[in-house]
């Protein structure tokens, strides 16, 4: 009996979901709903920072970033603009890239788990990995949007 040495690494597309799952995924609104769920943290954060610009500026300053007003403005523009692009079908890939790049940079700056000890290190590590998961979700959504566009 021969087995494929990398069988576990075969593309996900080889596995066909059962009919009820395919029907659920085909429902109107599921695609945009999934993208809305991924965009929600960026939309909410961007809106909250826009409504409380002083707080956004203070947050940037607390992280030791120079020119906190400019950083806060750039963060708001990145979060809201990236989310808007991500929610559009045509520019989903670009929005995903912007939000993933932002998330990577923000995570490295705000959650350096390697500088903590004890329980704080565990909390920072968990938050860091949650953000890595968001980056993975954005990449998966961009990939699926691209496949959907090329299939049309």
Average pLDDT of 1-11?
A: 58
Check pLDDT > 80 for residue 11. no
Q: What is the pLDDT of residue 12?
A: 58
pLDDT in tens, 57-87: 999 999 999 999 999 999 999 999 999 999 9
Tokens 């979700």 identify what position? Answer: 137
Q: What is the pLDDT of residue 144?
A: 87
Q: What is the DSSP letter of 10?
A: S
Give the separation between CA 23 and CA 17, rounded to whole angstroms.
10
Q: What is the pLDDT of residue 7?
A: 59
pTM of the model: 0.83
Distant-in-sequence contacts of 127-135, Cβ < 8 A, 24+ apart: 131/103, 131/104, 131/106, 131/107, 132/107, 134/38, 134/41, 134/103, 135/100, 135/103, 135/104
Q: What is the pLDDT of residue 99?
A: 98
Start-end of H helices in the chain: 19-25, 30-51, 53-62, 68-87, 92-110, 118-151
Q: Residue 98: CA atoms inside 13 Å, Cβ hemisphere, count? A: 21
Domain positions in the chain are: 34-151
Q: What percent of the chain has pLDDT over 70?
A: 88
Give the separation between CA 40 and CA 58, rounded to whole angstroms.
23
Q: What is the pLDDT of residue 101?
A: 98
Q: What is the pLDDT of residue 21?
A: 87
């Amino acid at each position: 009996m021969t087995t494929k040495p990398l069988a576990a690494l075969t593309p996900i597309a080889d596995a066909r979901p059962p009919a009820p799952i395919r029907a659920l995924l085909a429902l109107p609104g599921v695609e945009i709903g999934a993208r809305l769920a991924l965009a929600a943290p960026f939309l909410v954060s961007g809106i909250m920072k826009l409504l409380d610009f002083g707080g956004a500026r203070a947050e940037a300053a607390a992280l030791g970033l120079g020119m906190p007003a400019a950083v806060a403005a750039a963060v708001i523009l990145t979060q809201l603009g990236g989310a808007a692009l991500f929610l559009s079908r045509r520019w989903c890939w670009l929005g995903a890239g912007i939000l993933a790049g932002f998330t990577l940079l923000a995570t490295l700056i705000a959650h350096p788990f390697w500088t903590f000890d004890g329980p704080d290190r565990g909390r920072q590590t968990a938050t860091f990995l949650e953000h890595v998961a968001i980056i993975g979700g954005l990449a998966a959504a961009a990939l699926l949007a691209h496949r959907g566009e090329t299939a049309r």
